Amino acid sequence: DKFVKRKVMDKYGEFGRDRISELLGMDKVALDFSDAREKKKPKKDSSLSAVLNSIDVKYQMWKLGVVFTDDSFLYLAWYMTMSVLGHYNNFFFAAHLLDIAMGFKTLRTILSSVTHNGKQLVLTVGLLAVVVYLYTVVRFNFFRKFYNKSEDGDTPDMKCDDMLTCYMFHMYVGVRAEGCSEIEAPAGDEYEIYRIIFDITFFFFVIVILLAIIQGLIIDAFGELRD
């Protein structure tokens, strides 16, 4: 950018053209803004092809990336989207209440604590989903009979008839209810000891460790942002 180059020369010209070109990794001719050089420049071709060829595509893509990853732009774009959708369904206007949080620094810190360690949070949630899936595979093959949620005499209401249903049941009930208290107890069953060991390990790895890590990431981020 010519303007940037000229500003660099005005500010650091005392160090010499050679030194500046060396620091910036540029050709010395690129830093020459003399009138003689300006007169030597050929006239620009004003044709459409010349204009298109003169566009720095990489620079334009970089500018778009900066704009569309800016937090303020994303917030305003989301706010406008909710406003437009609200004209079709008043439900979307409820999202504007979050603007209250943006007016207070403390509330902004609380919201930022959720996204501050976003990458680690997403990866940990992904690991949680994988671990729950592994437990689902074992339960589907060995402990499926314990998933009958129907009352006595009613039509069987099996929550583990297929892998998808079984997995969704574990993600919703198993993680939310802190273990397997929602399904039939193994008392008196031939697999009782295996089921007890399995339930304890599920509670330990999923509830105690993984959920605690997710909560810890959010709490640590809040403490870091607050300080």
In Å, the largest CA–CA distance within the chain is 99
pTM for this structure? 0.58
Give the three-class secondary structure for 41. Answer: coil
Query: Which residue's entry shows tokens 């830093």?
Result: 31
A 10 A CB-CB count for 222 gives 17
Q: Give the pLDDT of residue 14.
A: 62
Beta-carbon contacts of residue 202 (< 8 Å; ≥ 6 apart): 135, 174, 179, 180
83: tokens are 């406003």
Low pLDDT (below 50) residues in the chain? none
Q: Going from the N-terminus, what domains does the chain have, and what CATH number goes with each?
A: 2-41 (no CATH), 71-114 (no CATH), 118-226 (1.10.287)
Distance CA 174, CA 131 (A): 12
Q: Give the pLDDT of residue 5.
A: 65
Determine phi and psi for 148, rounding to 5 degrees.
-85, 110
Q: Give the pLDDT of residue 96.
A: 87
Cα 110 vs. chain centroid, distance in angstroms?
A: 16
Q: Give the pLDDT of residue 32.
A: 56
Beta-carbon contacts of residue 124 (< 8 Å; ≥ 6 apart): 210, 213, 214, 217
Distance CA 115, CA 88 (A): 30
